[in-house]
Amino acid sequence: MEAMRERVLVVDDEPDVRMLLRTNLRAAGFDVLEAANGAEGLAIAKHELPAVIILDLMMPEMSGVEVCRALRKHPPTSRIPILMLTAKAAEEEKVAGFEVGADDYVTKPFSPREVVLRVRAVARRKPDQGVSKPILARAGLITMDRAEMTATIGGKKLGLTSTEFRLLELLVRRVGSIQSRETLLSEVWGYQANLDTRTVDTHVRRLREKLGRAGRLVETVRGSGYRLNTTEG
Amino acid sequence: MEAMRERVLVVDDEPDVRMLLRTNLRAAGFDVLEAANGAEGLAIAKHELPAVIILDLMMPEMSGVEVCRALRKHPPTSRIPILMLTAKAAEEEKVAGFEVGADDYVTKPFSPREVVLRVRAVARRKPDQGVSKPILARAGLITMDRAEMTATIGGKKLGLTSTEFRLLELLVRRVGSIQSRETLLSEVWGYQANLDTRTVDTHVRRLREKLGRAGRLVETVRGSGYRLNTTEG
DNA sequence: GAATTCTGTCACGAGAATGTCACTTTAGGA
DNA sequence: TCCTAAAGTGACATTCTCGTGACAGAATTC
């Protein structure tokens, strides 16, 4: 029968832009949701959990950056890929957008074909960090489930706090490679968290405690950072 | 197996519009009920519990928004999918409609084919939130019956208010996964309900009270939201 | 209309999560 | 072996978060 179509949410205050995107995205096989302002977009995003969100940076009242930040803040919407539309290719805007977590950029005026291509590219990335379907990542005996925010080891639930969960999640997702304290700070705590790097140490310690014997899997790489190993020793 | 024809209620004060929809919906295999004004529509809806309601936004005396609000308010009719007909594509109207819980929109003048497609789409969504056939969902010992708006635990009826029922219903339907306060607000209270997120806490508290010992099943996930567990502890 | 129930908000307090610091221990080069 | 910088550890202050009871307005019921 019919393949399930991926849903794309377009948030832009200009009807013309919405129409242009709507027709092109539909032609490309997407289901299109629309919102005319930031607040509405946010509400629909939370409610519908689209596969991709196209977000205009410049909107009255609630800017794209604000919407983006709000989306990134909480779980169900925090991993939805976001494509930003910017009026001008101002480098500042780009930076501002990336800082709050946009995944890609298109500057107005854009060619519809280009947008469709980028949406596809960004949507394809999804399997890595799926939203609707809970993702199970594994590192040795550790399993993570973002939807439930539970981590298990050997089938046993760990009572992690949200920070600990995000920390372990990042380490799991990048098993085997060293993560510097700076990287961990910016990825786990957020872009503008101005924290002491030693804070990471404390959380690693608490995490190790809760991991019990498996705490040894979190290896300290002197002078560089931390790394999660699959095998002990 | 003979498929039962689904009934669609058309509420519109213009006879022409009713006729147009009637013929097209019948041709598409639906049984059509009709009402010429809001009050009559409301009465028929309650009595007949159609699968879908098509509602004209602009009607003398009782507007579509009022009818919608009234329908949404109480159980047997509260989950019937509603398709709104709007005279103009005014953004304000759209928002007003979504706020009271319409499921989809068609702007006049419309193509009958489009309306039929949307009715099908909206009706198809039903299994998720069945109306005519009572759905029994279970989480541990809890059973929910939407048609009667009763929840039982261990065979014992709970005297839940409608808000409490919808809250529990959502948690039951998504057992095990965390629901943020924002999600709960938008799904239980409706689209743009502009409420304090702490309101959720209060209702969770009241729900837990009525659940008695099973109240423990409603777990608080600090910093994230609430989650219904199947097993205690 | 009066009484009752339902709802949303608030303020308070307990407890949890978090970030920082001072102190101790360890790794690894000289 | 010794020395120093880096990392581990425990304690603490602060900030958040959530549970709770009270209350006022709205909606329902009688």
In this structure, the answer to whether residues B58 and B81 fall within a common structural domain is yes
Nearest Cα residue to A233 out of A222, A221, A217, A220: A217
Nearest Cα residue to B193 out of B75, B64, B72, B74: B72
pLDDT at B109: 62
Does B195 map to a domain?
yes
Average pLDDT, chain A: 76
pLDDT at A75: 62
Q: Is A75 on the interface with B (CB under 8 A)?
A: yes
In this structure, the answer to whether residues B121 and B140 fall within a common structural domain is no
Lowest average pLDDT, out of A76-85, A171-180, B1-10, B85-94, goes to B85-94
A227 touches strand D (CB under 7 A): no
Stretch (H or E) spanning B59: none
Position A160 confidence tier, pLDDT thresholds 50, 70, 90 = very high
In this structure, the answer to whether residues A125 and A151 fall within a common structural domain is no
In this structure, the answer to whether residues A108 and A180 fall within a common structural domain is no
Under 8 Å between Cβ of B178 and A149 = yes
In this structure, the answer to whether residues A71 and A117 fall within a common structural domain is yes
Kindly report the bases of strand D lying within 7 A of a protein C-beta atom.
6-11, 16-22, 28
In this structure, the answer to whether residues B103 and B146 fall within a common structural domain is no
B111 touches strand C (CB under 7 A): no
Whether B202 has a pLDDT exceeding 90, the answer reads yes
pLDDT at A132: 29
Nearest-CB residue to A47 (from B95, B177, B191): B191
Question: What are the strands, taking DSSP E only, across B140-213?
Answer: 142-145, 150-153, 156-158
**CATH number, domain at A28?**
3.40.50.2300
Which residue, of B77, B108, B129, is where some domain finishes? B129
In this structure, the answer to whether residues A123 and A23 fall within a common structural domain is yes
Tell me the C-alpha distance between B110 and B7, whole Å: 21
In this structure, the answer to whether residues A114 and A143 fall within a common structural domain is no
In this structure, the answer to whether residues A23 and A125 fall within a common structural domain is yes
pLDDT at B121: 67
B197 touches strand C (CB under 7 A): no
pLDDT at B225: 94
Tell me the C-alpha distance between B146 and B169, whole Å: 8
Does A1 map to a domain?
no
pLDDT at A143: 73
In this structure, the answer to whether residues B81 and B25 fall within a common structural domain is yes
A188: Cβ contacts below 8 Å, ≥ 6 apart: A163, A166, A167, A170
Which residue, of A103, A129, A155, is where some domain finishes? A129
In this structure, the answer to whether residues A13 and A75 fall within a common structural domain is yes
The whole domain housing A185 covers 136-228
Quick one: what percent of chain A has pLDDT higher than 90? Answer: 19
Q: Is A135 on the interface with B (CB under 8 A)?
A: no
Name the domain count of chain A.
Answer: 2
Whether B146 has a pLDDT exceeding 80, the answer reads no
Under 8 Å between Cβ of B29 and B52 = no
What phi-psi label fits residue A223: left (phi over 0), alpha (psi between -120 and 50 degrees) or beta? left
Interchain contact, A43 vs B191, CB within 8 Å: yes
Under 8 Å between Cβ of A211 and A167 = no
Nearest-CB residue to A46 (from B95, B178, B182): B182
Which segments of B31-111 does DSSP mark as H helices, in order? Answer: 38-48, 64-73, 75-78, 91-100
Whether A7 has a pLDDT exceeding 80, the answer reads yes
pLDDT digits (tens, 9 = 90+) for A34-63: 888 888 888 888 777 888 899 887 777 777
Which SS3 state, helix, strand or coil, does residue A188 take?
helix
pLDDT digits (tens, 9 = 90+) for B80-110: 788 877 665 444 444 444 445 566 666 666 7
Which residue, of A88, A113, A129, is where some domain finishes? A129
Q: Is A148 on the interface with B (CB under 8 A)?
A: yes
Does A124 map to a domain?
yes
Does B55 map to a domain?
yes
In this structure, the answer to whether residues B12 and B111 fall within a common structural domain is yes
Once rounded to an integer, what is the mean pLDDT over residues A11-21? Answer: 84
**CATH number, domain at A193?**
1.10.10.10
